[in-house]
Chains A and B, each alone.
Chain A
Amino acid sequence: MNTEFLNFTPLAVLIPFFGAGFAFAFYRNKSAQRAITIGALVLTVILEVTMLSHVWNGGAHAIHLAGWPAPFGIVMVIDRFAALMLVVSSIITLCVLLYAVGQGAAEEKDDSGPVSIFYPTYLILVAGVSNAFLAGDLFNLYVGFEIFLTASYVLLTLGGGESRIRAGVTYVVVSIVSSMLFLITIGMIYAATGTVNLADLALRLADLDPSTQLTLHVMLLVAFGIKAAVFPLAFWLPDSYPTAPAPVTAVFAGLLTKVGIYAMIRTETLLFPGERINTALMIVAALTMIVGILGALAQADIKRMLSFTLISHIGYLVFGLALSSIIGMAATIYYVAHHITIQTTLFLVTGLIERRSGTSNVLRLGGLAKISPVLGLLFFIPAMNLAGIPPFSGFVGKLGMMQGGIAENTWITWTLVIASVVTSLLTLMAVARIWTRGFWRKPEDADETPERQLMSKTLAHSRAANKRYLPMSMVAPTAALVAMSLAFSVFAGPLMDFSRAAAQDMYERTPYLEAVFGPDRTEGVRDELEEFAATFLIDYELDDGGAAEHAPVETSLQPDDEAADVVPEITDGDDQ
């Protein structure tokens, strides 16, 4: 495999940074700023897609910055999972940027002040996210988090209106506290092991006293849990996200929590593999799902409702992570990519709804499907996708997790499977509510006084107004994202294979270690690691052309071969 190209990986962080610098320099010239920002992101997308194609068929690659060898220098590691996250995140950010440009052009009057800040800050956010995805050591991960969090503070309080300041304060304080916790954990991990390099930690943490390991593990999970908005730690999210401008909320909702999840997955597979706290994680996952979606049902504002569904669907990701099986992890990886896209799309569409009708409060909406069928379509597809209706990618991801849960076959995984079905149905109910209220009923039937923008004299009048309210420059990026989410279902087969391979790599850990340390040091532990990874293989026979793998209908009926060997403790009786 030609890995020469992968040496350019740090450019994924550097291009946005340099773009941000130039964009700041041209703060007087708005069109130059815009061109630089879009150009930088397009370059990043091209670079990352090429990187993904290079790691598609093989393992991990590490870049030792400035040539310092692994445990001492800073390492950037790109493997399948990181590459997939990079590509999805940069495509998302590009689409959201185009949407924001469209919105800026549509609202030319009042974009004098804060917009000159918007573009460079946005690029810094992208750089921080890329840095977190590529980080090969804990401290670099922390720095990546801080970069994009600081950028997000600025974006969230853009314009400095009163409600944004209020929301911003909560967000900033909570984020700072979680970062402090992360930093404390890094300090303790360094004190215990003498390294912050992830690959080095993977080898050294296992030698620690189990109780010390558990302490470090839980602290790390709490720190990431706040950032990822896992249930008891998610209270800050619905308060702070909805106040920001639509594109900002979209990119926050899509990306930022997922970076937390990414960090959880990375540390969970690399540093603390094993099943010690899986039951706890699963309980947390179930609560996140259920509490999140119940919160969503209580909301009248679409943005807030979507923020709650965001929390609820983080629960799915934690569930897949807690399964500790390759099939569960594969589904999780697929689901992360799907969910980033879908959540961003829904927030962008909500921005369009808000523009068209003047409000995002469903009580005052009505008749949108008639006024703008395009808007209806753009909302309907991702909404059904979020709820996990069969042809869409949400269904594929959820199905994979449930397969994992059923294959593991303990009381807790069955509980989780039931909880995820219930959550899925409740999500459907929540989005169907928006649909029937906002799109299907007549504006006159709205619970509260409908917005005047919805009450045109004739249909022709309101269709004519569509052009003004819904400019092509905003609709097109949204449509592109909807198309991307559809592509996730069309190419579900290859993508699932890819995420399976990624999951296998992550549990085996040898590709990662070999990339960082070179073959010599890895060779000594290879057998041990592979043996360890084999315990995660709750899997299906692969010699039937993939039929069992993609449609393992018999798993719930025959759990007693491989699955029973791995999880012998408590088996649920009702599936025999």
Chain B
Amino acid sequence: MTVNLTLLVLMGALFAIGIYLLLERSLTRVLLGIILISNGVNLLLLHTAGRAGLAPIYDPDISAEEYLDPLPQALLLTAIVIAFALVSFMLALIYRSWVLARQDELADDEEDRRIASYANVHDTEEDAELATETTEFADDTDSSGRQLLNPRRGVDEVAGTDAADEAPASGAMHADQLDVTIGAGRADGPPRQVPADPDVEPTAEPDTDPAEDPDPTEGGQR
């Protein structure tokens, strides 16, 4: 079977980038990852037909080897349609998550945390308060510098950068991770303003962000 090298390299790149994005906590990036992977799969299916050939319309003068195998394209078409449906559903989910919680990232399972707390298991890596990087779709302040409805990101960044001082229990490794997470977030996003005065934040937080104080007993029941 002959395989087109360019397509093969492209497919590899799509898979690699897709898997990288899939590992992110931000839902939009996960979605982008899924889109890339599904396109990689589509290319793979296309490959299985082998070298390009004639359109498979029967002509007695043409020998069978000259035609292109049409079946992979039928599979491909179905796969594209299914991927399209799934991506639109994912988008709806992400939008809903945004509307409800004003956050664009995967939340922790409260019940898991509760069970872990029973056993007094504290894994510094898993159970540390993560610096929640909410979204890239909202700025903290408008052009004139006033706070917007969703000040969460600012809060978290303050909490994150100060974590080394505020949370001595979780240790130095914890703080390093936080810095890395936030640094990575900043590298490709637009520059954001970190609110200078952390005292202002706690008052704004509770009513604008329902995700912030979940009832631990409710988590697993509904």
Contacts and interface: CB of A to CB of B under 8 A. Distances in A.
A352 B72 CA distance: 49
A257 B216 CA distance: 28
Contacts of A172: 86, 89-90, 93
Contacts of A160: 96, 100
Interface residues of A, number: 46
A42 interface: no
A160 B89 CA distance: 12
B107 interface: yes
Nearest to B78: A143
Contact of B210 (A162, A165, A239): A162
Contacts of A25: none
Q: Which 6 A-B pairs have the closest CB atoms?
A: A191-B48, A301-B220, A187-B44, A187-B45, A166-B107, A190-B48
Contacts of B118: 298, 300
B222 A163 contact: yes
10 contacts: A161-B100, A167-B109, A169-B93, A170-B106, A172-B86, A172-B93, A187-B44, A190-B45, A300-B115, A361-B217
A194 B1 CA distance: 11
A163 B219 CA distance: 7
B164 interface: no
A304 B110 CA distance: 12
B59 interface: no
Contacts of A116: none
Interface string B1-33: 100000000000000000000100001001000
Contacts of B71: 190, 196
Interface in A158-200: 160-170, 172-173, 176-177, 179-180, 183-184, 186-188, 190-191, 194, 196
A177 B94 CA distance: 17
Interface string A470-484: 000000000000000
B41 A184 contact: yes
The DSSP consensus for interface residues of chain A is helix
B97 interface: yes
B101 A162 contact: yes
Interface of A: 139, 143, 146, 150, 153-154, 157, 160-170, 172-173, 176-177, 179-180, 183-184, 186-188, 190-191, 194, 196, 239, 242-243, 298-301, 303-304, 354, 359-361
A277 to B, nearest CB: 24
Contacts of B97: 165-166, 169
B132 interface: no
Nearest to B210: A162
B83 to A, nearest CB: 8
Given A143-B82, A165-B100, A173-B30, 7 more contacts: A161-B100, A163-B218, A166-B107, A170-B106, A183-B79, A187-B41, A243-B220
B48 A304 contact: no
B119 interface: yes
A165 B27 CA distance: 12
B93 A191 contact: no
A354 B220 CA distance: 12
B220 A304 contact: yes
B107 A153 contact: no
A27 B217 CA distance: 35
A164 B221 CA distance: 10
Interface in B87-103: 89-90, 93-94, 96-97, 100-101
Interface string B103-131: 00011010110110011000000000000
Nearest to A243: B222
B211 interface: yes
B163 interface: no
A406 to B, nearest CB: 36
A143 B79 CA distance: 9
Contacts of B178: none
The DSSP consensus for interface residues of chain B is helix
A187 B47 contact: yes
Given A183-B79, A298-B119, A301-B111, A162 B41 contact: no
A180 B41 contact: yes
Contact of A173 (B34, B112, B218): B34
B61 to A, nearest CB: 22
Nearest to B114: A300
Contacts of A177: 22, 34, 37
B93 to A, nearest CB: 6
Nearest to B94: A169
Given A162-B101, A165-B93, A165-B100, A301 B221 contact: yes
B45 A359 contact: no
A304 B113 CA distance: 13
A143 B78 CA distance: 8
B9 to A, nearest CB: 17
B48 A169 contact: no
Contacts of A184: 41, 44
Nearest to A301: B220
Contacts of B204: none
Interface in B186-222: 210-211, 217-222
A150 B210 contact: no
Contacts of B86: 150, 172, 176
Given A146-B82, A162-B210, A157 B218 contact: no
A277 B117 CA distance: 39
B112 A239 contact: yes
B222 A161 contact: yes
A410 B115 CA distance: 38
A440 to B, nearest CB: 22
B48 A187 contact: yes
Contacts of A183: 41, 45, 79
A173 B22 contact: yes
Contacts of B100: 160-162, 165
